[in-house]
Amino acid sequence: MVAGTAPVVLSAFSGKDGPAGEPLPIEHVVGFDDLMTTPGVFEVPSGYGGLDWYNLVAMHQRFTAGPGYINTTMSGEFIAYNSSGHPAQVFSDKPFDFTGAYFGAGWDDAEGETLILKAWRGDEPVYEDQLALSANGQVYFAADYRRITRLEIRTQHYWQAAIDGFAYRTGP
């Protein structure tokens, strides 16, 4: 299965807490291009897209020599990544559905790195998936994580994971 030219990885649907109900009604996709008015490197601020962000950085493609950042970009000229390869989080006091995103490895040396995604509903872990990353092109991860309050994005060996087209749903 592909999304555009990207291969698609489906979540293992490892929800540990049973069904989370119907999908939330309001769809969003952030590509980080509307975050900045000038090319540069910036921390993704809490409140962007109605969610809180921790340890995610957005940058213009021209600020990197890492081919994976450029090859993962889908929405325009900006991309996000987990700063210094350390775990990043997207969270909210109100539940949201993480539907998916494009992911890639920022650097050639990280080819095949494992991306680990974990999601919580309050203090309860409810989803966990792993997928292989490439610097040669992005993969779309179709998550369908419903009514979560926190998503952790990390790599097994602390390489940067490039992220674009972060899709989610919120309630009214």
- Which residues form the domain of 51? 2-17+24-170
**CB crowding 96-127: b at 16 or more within 10 Å, else e:** bbbbbbbbbbbbeebeebbbebbbbbeeebbb
Can you give the pTM of this predicted structure? 0.91
Condensed to tens digits (0 to 9), the pLDDT of residues 15-69 reads 555 557 899 999 999 999 998 877 789 999 999 999 999 999 999 888 888 888 8
How many domains in the chain? 1
CATH of the domain at 69: 2.60.120
